Structure 1
């Protein structure tokens, strides 16, 4: 399943990338910040002058777990919110550099993260800009850590459908036999 890239690079992020390129330094992306911003419309146009939400609105900060390139002009950073992380809701994510620059931002429908078995969130932030992989100094393909489970899920769904259909047909035959015996 392919999702559209809805997050944007902030103007501060563009300035940061320009400065790092001129200094011949790679991008130093540190963390993904999650916030619950009241009345945020996930469909609204992203604000390139966005600032960090207030400390009261920030619900979680997580250092980047993985980074990779999709192609020469597209890079991704990812975090894993394990089952022991929570409880909080978030609708805003920001990609932040080591010096505190808000590099990029996105708005989401309200996401609920709760502690508990099998409640793991994988969040990736993908940015597309000219020579992104080279400027970010990312040499690992994102495909090496981004795995698409769709084929396995489709196979499981297919088996479930076949099993459910067989059970319904067996019950139907049994009901017909019972009704015929009366």
Structure 2
């Protein structure tokens, strides 16, 4: 793998994407952003500007259905795909969001170039990795133009390549954050217990209990949340008791009484409470 150094990833909304947006706004197409494509482009410089006329490359190594297309605010939407532990093995340094038109033509609407990354799947006792990829499209009135009304979920908009912590804090996420003391840096905390509205950095392989009650010992509310990142060890997040909320993995719908954060997987996991199903979704 090539050292990253000072190189940074690039994002480009394509000219075809702009034309597609205009067609949706005019009523000639219905918003149908269907999947992400992943490719390994030999010799790519991930810090170089991306040609806005770029097309879907031939050397695709994987495609993944879009998990969510949501609005951050009226001028920004986020498109996301999730690759679970059953996806792999392949390397990639390019991925793009693709829309499917009414005539089944596929249109590359957005492109990201990165340093080489690996996606591995779990095989036997060898654990793979789990990855979510999001592309943010910022443009005046883009949410209305593409008829996007669903609010972005916390796992879609995290500190990462294209959405800074300050940008996240500046958006209206009151449905998730109104009870928390977030500051503009969205800091991680290291503490012995998991608590709502905190980003936890875990440094051991201990068992942790998901919150049983909401703030002020009230019942958990829809969209209450917490997040976990394991910087060391292989911690386990468990339900508080047999009647408490279980955990639902959105990638495949699997439900269990505990979640094991795989060793060396340092991705942040955001758990959002679904009051209807009494589960922590992640």
RMSD across aligned C-alpha pairs, in angstroms?
A: 2.8
Unaligned runs of 5+ in 2: 1-7, 160-184, 192-199, 205-282
Choose which of 130, 140, 143 in structure 2 pairs with 1:133.
Answer: 143
Matches of 2:9 and 2:138, distance apart in 1: 8
Which structure 1 residue ranges, 4+ long, deviate > 2 Å from structure 2?
A: 23-27, 143-154, 156-161
Matches of 1:144 and 1:59, distance apart in 2: 28
Deviation at 1:143, TM superposition (A): 3.3
Matches of 2:201 and 2:107, distance apart in 1: 47
Whether contact under 8 Å (1:62, 1:79) holds in the other structure is: yes
Which is greater in Rg? 1
Equivalent residues in 2 for 1:61-100, closer than 5 Å: 61-99=63-101, 100=106
1:27/1:115 Cα in 2 relative to 1: closer, same or farther (>3 Å)?
same
Matches of 2:79 and 2:138, distance apart in 1: 12
1:36 partnered with 2:71:
no
Unaligned runs of 5+ in 1: 162-182
Equivalent residue, structure 2, for 1:109: 115
Which of the pair is proportionally richer in helix?
Answer: 1
Whether contact under 8 Å (2:35, 2:63) holds in the other structure is: yes
**How far does the alpha carbon of each residue in 1:29-86 deviate from its partner, in whole angstroms, 9 at most, with x for none?**
11111111111111000110101111xx101111101121111111011111000100
Matches of 1:8 and 1:113, distance apart in 2: 23
Counterpart secondary structure, 2:149: coil
Q: Which of the pair has the greater relative contact order for Cα pairs under 8 Å at 6+ separation? A: 1
1:20 partnered with 2:24:
yes
1:155 partnered with 2:161:
no
Counterpart secondary structure, 1:18: helix
* Corresponding residue pairs, total: 156
**How far does the alpha carbon of each residue in 1:91-130 deviate from its partner, in whole angstroms, 9 at most, with x for none?**
1111110130111111011110011236101101111112
1:159/1:146 Cα in 2 relative to 1: closer, same or farther (>3 Å)?
closer
Equivalent residue, structure 1, for 2:156: 146
- TM-score when scaled to structure 1? 0.75
Matches of 2:55 and 2:98, distance apart in 1: 11
